[in-house]
Each structure stands twice: as structure tokens, then as C-alpha cells.
Chains A and B, each alone.
Chain A
Amino acid sequence: MRVSLTVNGKDRADEVEPRLLLVHYLRDVLGLTGTNIGCDTSSCGACTVLVDGESVKSCTMLAVQAEGTEVSTIEGLASDGVLHPLQEAFREHHGLQCGYCTPGMVMAASSLLAEHPHPSEAEVRVGLEGNLCRCTGYHNIVKAVLSAVAP
């Protein structure tokens, strides 16, 4: 089947197997390997991307279901060699260790802040509950997200 969509601002059109997952399309067809796979039950959130601005676990969606959408991945966040403020906040507050959950976590956090520009700590914790991290205990992730809140 043919799928046409926009990924990180670029138009894409590819012939794909109907069963191909969006995450595999991003990783294997487009070579955007920043989006990671951490489970097979849409539980961990490592594969979180934005589809038309909403955070979506890209292992839970077929590539063909993304027809006509705008997809944003971690590769599209930094621009001109400068980290996005949220990426910078994760670095500043040591919100990552092994970094495997990080792309998904950052995308989920960016979606959270888009919807709730001034979240409380509790709202950040609930907002990120679909993204698992095994290294940080979330303490510094929460701190990073709160620090990235627009003044």
C-alpha cells in the first residue's frame, strides 16, 4: 500500500506492507532510528512520536494509518545544531542516564507542555505515566519538565 505523510516537515511517500507498524516505517524505511522500541504491548512509550501534534505510541499504529498526517520525531526537535529547550532541560537536570527511553520521554513531555503549559508536579507525573524509565526514578525527568515550563 502507498502511504503519504509529512515527517519532521518533509513530505514522504512510500510503498509499504499493510501490516508495517509506524515505528518500523520511521526506523527502517526512513532511517529515523531515534525513536526506540522498548516493548510489544504499547506500554513503555519509548516509541512516542507526535502525530498531528498528539503524542502517539508509534508501535500501536500502522504506517498506513498515518496517511495524510504530520509526524514529528525526536530528530525534528533540535534545529540548526541547537537543542530544543526541553532537551536542554533534560541535560541540565540529568533527566537521562542510558538514554533509551529519552526520545519518547521528551516527545511525550513536549506534547504534555503543549496541552498544559503550566503543569503541577503531580500533573507532570500523571502526564508521563505512559512512558517508562528504568534508570532515573523519574525524579530528574520531572524536574526537567517543570523547569522547561514557559514563564
Chain B
Amino acid sequence: MTATEAPRKGVLGQRLVRREDPELLTGEARFVADLKVSGTLHLALVRSPMAHARLASVDVSPALEVPGVVAAYSGADLEGEWAGPLPCAWPVTDDMRQPAHLPLAAREVCYVGDAVAVVVAESEYAARDGAEAVLVDYDPLPVVVDLEEAAADRALAHEELGTNTSYVWELKPDEAAVEAAFASAAHVVSGRYVQQRLIPSAMEPRGVLVVPQPFGGEFTVYSATQIPHILKVMLAVTTGISETSLRVIAPSVGGGFGSKLNVYAEEVLALTLARMLKRPVRWIETRSEATQATIQGRGQIQEIELAADERGRIQAVRVRLLADMGAYLQLVTPGVPLLGAFLYSGVYDVPAYSLSCRSVFTNLTPTDAYRGAGRPEATYAIERAVDLLARRVGVDPAEIRRRNYIRPEQFPYSSVAGLVYDSGAYEAALDKALQLAGYEELRAEQARRREAGERHQLGIGVSSYMEMCGLAPSRVLASLNYSAGGWEAATVRILPTGKVQVVTGTAPHGQGHETSWSMIAADRLGISPDDVEVLHSDTAIAPYGLDTYGSRSLSVGGVAVAIATDRVIDKARQIAAHQLEIAPEDLDYGGGEFRAKGSPERSMALGAVAFEAFTAHDLPEGLEPNLEASSHFDPPNFTFPFGTHVCVVEIDTETGGVGLASYVAVDDCGNQVNPLIVEGQVHGGITQGIAQALFEKASYDDQGNLLTSTFMDYLVPAASELPSFVTGSTVTPSPTNVLGVKGVGEAGTIGSAPAVINAVVDALSTYGVEDIEMPATPERVWRAIEQGRRP
């Protein structure tokens, strides 16, 4: 080994193909619906077709006549089974109002899709037949759908609360400064933006399988969840089953995007029925159920005002939010607006800030975290408003941003909203994005088409974003009234054969953690990632963890892996030093081997050290056997990825059709572990933002019926609606963790929706259009053009 003294090329930063792929590509992977346990009973739920009604009667007896049906229960039948309501872990204010939320409604339904009865049968088909047979009488109650009507309390989503307002939350560090800035502003711009409700649409619907061991008293819960660890705790609390009798496993999980960051009625129900019936119980969601009974995202009306000086430098940002909670508070429903509340000043150096948020109930599906959760909303508002400011001041959208960016030398930057941004180089990302897009040429082409009065007009949209992710420093969460911490756990073991086992508390569902975590450990150990296994998503194997959401996995969980790996190396060093009869500090470590400084022929391979640690025949006095170390990493700060996206649209001014001509994204997520995976995250994120901007909206009628309850009506974009993307990156490491990483799961979604709408509005600016509501459908675009054409 002494021949290779040259510095080893690190594993980090390489585009390794994923180890997760072969089983997924061959159909070998097991999602919840693929798990077969003999004797399993199947559940089907009876869901309310009314958005708000009293349950006059629920008669499940006809279901019992259906062949194959084993049992059927109404909400009232099971009311005594619950030890607690479905949990909300984020009571953002002490006086927050919260309706009781049981897995099955017993007296009143509050949205279309609220479950009122459950049928248990020997097969899935029989369960559905049984559910069709259940007879329910509903006495309709007034329905509240519109967010502003809800805020006015014209009808109540929950009569017993006396109001639709759940809470009012304010962030007003210096109101006088804000007022003074607006009083003396050369330019004031304001925008009102509607963040339509979105249906998360992970391709795998939810599902749960509970396998009881009636005599052992234990339950294994397989769930399509992002949060096996949190789910285990919450199942114990809601069912009264001891946490020591619960094991939760998230097998292969087919996407989440926040929608599986929750504790759902069906999980609690399946566990409860498995306990009652002493048989395995399984529930697999249909897509039509998923659109109604899985949480939705967004749902806000935003009012934003900017005060700026003569040159367009922003002096104050004032924001009023109205947030739609839906019918109930799910796991983190009330906290979603808060995740954006600190970011309405965006990437800009803003001295004065004021935000207030009123969150209200409606008779619609509950909202909760969906990709970006609060941060896409915030970024959209400020990036739309900044474009408006550019127009008022009469400068290019890129120029207005340059005038306002926080400059590199200002980092770490204390924001007016109270955050400390770790690092950033915003203008460098803008420059790179403009260059990749060919910005000057695009503007020239735009001018040419305008001049020529061509039918297809170009629009160029720029959006600069940053986000706070790496959720989260536990003390900060405490200050926001969140009920849990934000740390992450990892254990690293060197096995007796020298192979390495990493156990992580993160719960991947498409992000490739097995590949990336193996790279992190391998890089530090100087070995091949192929020699590292990564175990996760099973509470019996990884007892500690806070799971995967909020772009936290790498910058908290991956960092925990790095720290635990370093601790293992430290312990191995003591053993190697003892074996080589040398002081630990006189050993170098690299390439999987300890070597004496100055005499590298005195060496010991990590595998040999591991075997010594395992046999424990000759360890240093007082040192325990085995090579294992853990880390429970609580991040000192959030991380703040950033970037600039440039979207080019081509608008058919005759039809209002919006075509995506090109899309450039330059993202900075700090150091990259695996650029292949980073790019994939960005592509998918961009697409979800484009989808919000152009295609998707959960539409309801005035009685709270979902009009987009299938993929026939809800337009998840297909390959044919999208261009290829041009991605680039800059690298500004985070100084707050040993890997210098920031997180990338949500970035694409945060940057893209405003870039697209800025492009659409830019194209339509010659018609006097200053805003267009999302999704910018051909009809909306066409109407805006027609209005502009009128004299």
C-alpha cells in the first residue's frame, strides 16, 4: 500500500450511479401494496360526499351481508377505541383553535372525503363492495370553501369553535421602521397573489399493512410514510399501545413530497382494527381517495408591499397572509406558513419587515407540508413583487435584483426577520444563469418579435431564491412552539470483516440516501462505497431518527453520518496505536489504513483493526470491544441554499397557449455529495414548480366538491409538456456543518414557479398585464391578452 502515497481522490462529488436502482428497475423492490401476509384482511373506507353535515345515521349492517365482508364499523362504533385524537405537532400559538379530529368521524363530517365508516373483508374487491352497501344519512350544514369568506366567518367550518380563525401569528420586529420606510418611499409596489391548493400526487398512493402477533402482543406496521420514527411515537399516543410493542417499517416508498410526512387516520385505524380482530390488516389508497384524503399543499392568499428608494433599493417589506388550514389540523398544518414567514425579504438586503398571518378553517381537505412548504409561497410573493418594482423603476429584472442582493461580504447575514444566513453569493448565481440562458440574445429576440408583431411572443422570467432548510436547530423549533426536535441520528459500525454498516434515522423515498450516505462514510474511511451498507426506515434497526422532509436529510442526517464515521476512526486509531505500539497522534489515517508518521511501513488496515476490536483479545486498557460510534447531530443553524432560475416562455397570442421554450437553473446547495442525484432533485423540483405555475389546481365547487379528483382532471404534467432543463451550479459551502452541505430537495420547486410566471407576465407586459393568477392556463392568458387589446 505504500506505493500509493499520492492524495486519494475523494468519493464525494462523484457522479456514482445509485445502488437503489436495480431492485426498482426490475420490479423486485417491495412497496407496501406488494407485501403479502397470509390471512390479511382488507379495509375500504366509506367517505363523505358532503363537505359539511351532521351524521343522522350510519348503517353498516348491509355491508355485513356482502360475501367476504368480516366486519364493518361506523365512527361511533369505534369512538371508544382512540386513546387520543389524530395529532397536530405544531400548535404555533398558545391560543390556537383546533377541532377534535378522530380517525373516523362520529357525529359530523367536515370535508368531502372525511371517513365515516370502515369495512373489513377477506379481499380488496369484497371490501369495496361492502363499502358501497353502507347507508349513511347526512343532514347538510353550511359549507365554507372560499378563503376570504372563511376569514369573515360568514359560515363556520366548525360551529363549536365559534370562528374559522385557528390562529393569528405576527412577526413585527419594528413596526415604526416599516411605517417610516413606506412614508418616505420613492416607489411602493403591492401584489396580491393566490397560492392555489395543490394535490401532492406522489405516484405511489398511501398504504399501510399492520401485522399483529396477538400472543406476543406486538405489532409491525408497514406504511408508505416519510416518517417511520415519528409515526411510531404518534401511533403509541393515539392508540394507547405501548411504544415498546410497536415496530414501524417504511419499505420502498414511492415518493412523498410532504404528503407522507403525516400521521393519517388510516394508519391509526388499521392498527386499531388489527388489535381488535387479531389479524393482519391492510389498506391501500386509491388515487381518487388520495386526491381527497391525503393532505393538499399551498392554499394561501398573500398581500405583499414593497417600499423602495429612487433607485429601487427595497427599504421595507410588509406582508399579510391568509392561510387555508382545511377542515382539520394535520401533523404540521399550522406551521407551514411559518416556514415561509421569515423569508419574504428573499435574497435582498432589507432593513424593515412586517408580517402577519391569519390561518382559517374551511370545509376542504386539510392542507399540510408539500414540497417546499411555506418557502415556495414566500419566494413567489417577493420575486413577483420585485419584478413589479423593476417595472416601476424602469430597469431590467436582473438589474433590480443586483441592486438589492445581500452581498457576499455581508455573510453570515443577520436578516431583519431574525435569521442568520450562513453563506451566499447571489450575484454569481445570477450571472451564471443569465450567461447559460443567453440573456442578452433573448432580450434582443424578444424585442424583434414585438417589433414585428409576431403571433408567438417571448417572455423571459428571472427568479432568485434562497430557502431555509436543514430542519432544524431544536432550540429554534422550541421558540416556534414545535413539539419535537430537529436533530438526526446515525450509527457507524466497522464489522468484523472490515465491511461498514451505516444506520441512519433518515427515511428516503426516492432521494438515494443509501448511495449518498455510503459515499460520505466511504470518503472519510478511504474505502469503496461498495463496502458500506446503509440501513434505514425500520424502527427496530434504526431506533432513533426524525425522518425525511424539509431538505433536512443531508445537512442534518448526512452530517450525523460524517460525525459518527469520524468517531469510529478515532476509536480505531486507539486500537491501531496499541497494536503498533505507537502513540495515537503519531498515526496517519487514509485509504483504509493507519500508518506511522515518518515510517509508513508500520501500518494496520482498518479491517484488521476491526477484527481486533471484535475479538477483543488485546485492546488498550479500559477500551470497550467493537468499532461502533453514533452521532445525534443537532444543527447549530438552518442552511440557506440559493440560486437563480431563468425561464423562457413562448406565448401564442391567438390561443393563450404557453410553451416552455427553455429553462435554466443555477442552484447552489453548498458542497455536492453526488451531482447526479443533485441534478435529479433539481429537475423534479423545477417540474413541480412549473406544474403549479401552469397546470395544477385543486378545484372545488361552492359546495366543497373536488372537481379534480382524478388524474383525468388534475393535470400532473407529462414528458410532452416539458422541455429539457439546463442546470448549472455554484458552490458556496455552508460553514455550519462539517460537510459544507446545504440541501437540495426543495430548491427547484422554490425557484421555478415565480420564474415561470415572471416570464408569462413579461411576455404579456406589452398588453399592460401586471399579473396572472396560477395556474396560467391558456384561458387566463388569452383573457388577459384580450383585455389588453381593448382600447
- Residues of A participating in the B interface, judged by any CB pair closer than 8 Å: 17, 19-20, 24, 27, 31-41, 43-44, 46, 73-75, 77-78, 83, 87, 90-92, 94, 96-103, 106, 121, 124-126, 128-143
Segment of B152-160, B248-256, B269-277 engaged in the interface with chain A: B248-256
* Minimum CB distance partner of B686 in chain A: A137
A138-B27 in contact (CB<8A)? no
A99-B29 in contact (CB<8A)? yes
Chain A residues whose C-beta falls within 8 Å of the C-beta of B20 in the assembled complex:
99
Question: CA separation between A83 and B679, bound complex, in Å?
Answer: 24
Chain B residues whose C-beta falls within 8 Å of the C-beta of A39 in the assembled complex:
287, 710-711
A43 contact from B26, B511, B712, B724, Cβ within 8 A: B712
Q: How far is the CB of A27 from chain B (nearest CB, A)?
A: 8
Whether B444 sits at the interface, judged by CB under 8 Å, is no
* Minimum CB distance partner of B34 in chain A: A33
Whether B510 sits at the interface, judged by CB under 8 Å, is yes
Interface 0/1 of B78-91, CB less than 8 Å to A: 00000000000000
The interface centre, meaning the residue of A19, A44, A99 with most chain B CB atoms within 10 A of its CB, is A99
B287-A38 in contact (CB<8A)? yes
* Minimum CB distance partner of B508 in chain A: A98
Segment of B454-462, B590-598, B715-723 engaged in the interface with chain A: B715-723
Known A-B contacts A38-B204, A98-B510; the reply to A91 vs B17 at CB < 8 A is yes
- Number of A-B residue pairs having CB atoms within 8 Å of each other in the complex: 183
Known A-B contacts A136-B683, A139-B725, A140-B680; the reply to A83 vs B26 at CB < 8 A is yes
Beta-carbon contacts under 8 Å, B667-721 to A: 676-677, 679-680, 683-688, 710-712, 716, 718-721
Could you give 24 example pairs across A and B, Cβ below 8 Å? A27-B34, A31-B36, A33-B27, A36-B204, A38-B203, A38-B204, A87-B26, A90-B25, A94-B679, A98-B253, A100-B202, A100-B203, A100-B255, A101-B254, A103-B27, A128-B720, A129-B718, A129-B719, A129-B720, A131-B718, A133-B719, A135-B510, A137-B685, A138-B719
Interface 0/1 of B482-524, CB less than 8 Å to A: 0000000000000000000000000001111000000000000
Chain A residues whose C-beta falls within 8 Å of the C-beta of B26 in the assembled complex:
34, 74-75, 77-78, 83, 87
Whether B18 sits at the interface, judged by CB under 8 Å, is yes
* Minimum CB distance partner of A32 in chain B: B27
Question: CA separation between A33 and B555, bound complex, in Å?
Answer: 35
- Residues of B participating in the A interface, judged by any CB pair closer than 8 Å: 17-18, 20-22, 24-31, 33-34, 36, 124-125, 201-205, 252-255, 257, 286-288, 509-512, 676-677, 679-680, 683-688, 710-712, 716, 718-722, 724-725, 748
A137-B718 in contact (CB<8A)? no
Q: How far is the CB of B28 from chain A (nearest CB, A)?
A: 7
Chain B residues whose C-beta falls within 8 Å of the C-beta of A135 in the assembled complex:
203, 255, 510, 680, 684
Chain A residues whose C-beta falls within 8 Å of the C-beta of B683 in the assembled complex:
136-140
B680-A41 in contact (CB<8A)? no
Closest 7 pairs (CB-CB, A-B): A34-B27, A99-B24, A100-B254, A98-B510, A137-B687, A43-B711, A137-B683
Question: CA separation between A38 and B288, bound complex, in Å?
Answer: 10
Q: How far is the CB of A17 from chain B (nearest CB, A)?
A: 7
B254 contact from A98, A130, A139, Cβ within 8 A: A98
A138-B255 in contact (CB<8A)? no
A33 contact from B17, B24, B30, B255, Cβ within 8 A: B30
Chain A residues whose C-beta falls within 8 Å of the C-beta of B33 in the assembled complex:
27, 33, 36-37
Question: CA separation between A84 and B512, bound complex, in Å?
Answer: 22
Q: How far is the CB of B619 from chain A (nearest CB, A)?
A: 42
A44 contact from B287, B679, B719, B725, Cβ within 8 A: B287
Q: How far is the CB of A108 from chain B (nearest CB, A)?
A: 10
A98-B718 in contact (CB<8A)? no
Chain A residues whose C-beta falls within 8 Å of the C-beta of B257 in the assembled complex:
134
Q: How far is the CB of A93 from chain B (nearest CB, A)?
A: 9
* Minimum CB distance partner of A73 in chain B: B27
A100-B25 in contact (CB<8A)? no
B716-A134 in contact (CB<8A)? yes
* Minimum CB distance partner of B511 in chain A: A97
Q: How far is the CB of A58 from chain B (nearest CB, A)?
A: 13
Question: CA separation between A44 and B255, bound complex, in Å?
Answer: 14
Known A-B contacts A134-B255, A134-B684, A142-B724; the reply to A125 vs B679 at CB < 8 A is no
Q: Told that A99-B510, A132-B203 touch, could you supply 17 new A-B pairs with CB distance under 8 A?
A: A36-B203, A37-B205, A40-B286, A75-B27, A90-B25, A91-B25, A94-B679, A99-B20, A100-B204, A101-B203, A102-B25, A103-B27, A125-B719, A129-B721, A135-B680, A138-B719, A142-B719
Question: CA separation between A128 and B720, bound complex, in Å?
Answer: 8
* Minimum CB distance partner of A103 in chain B: B27
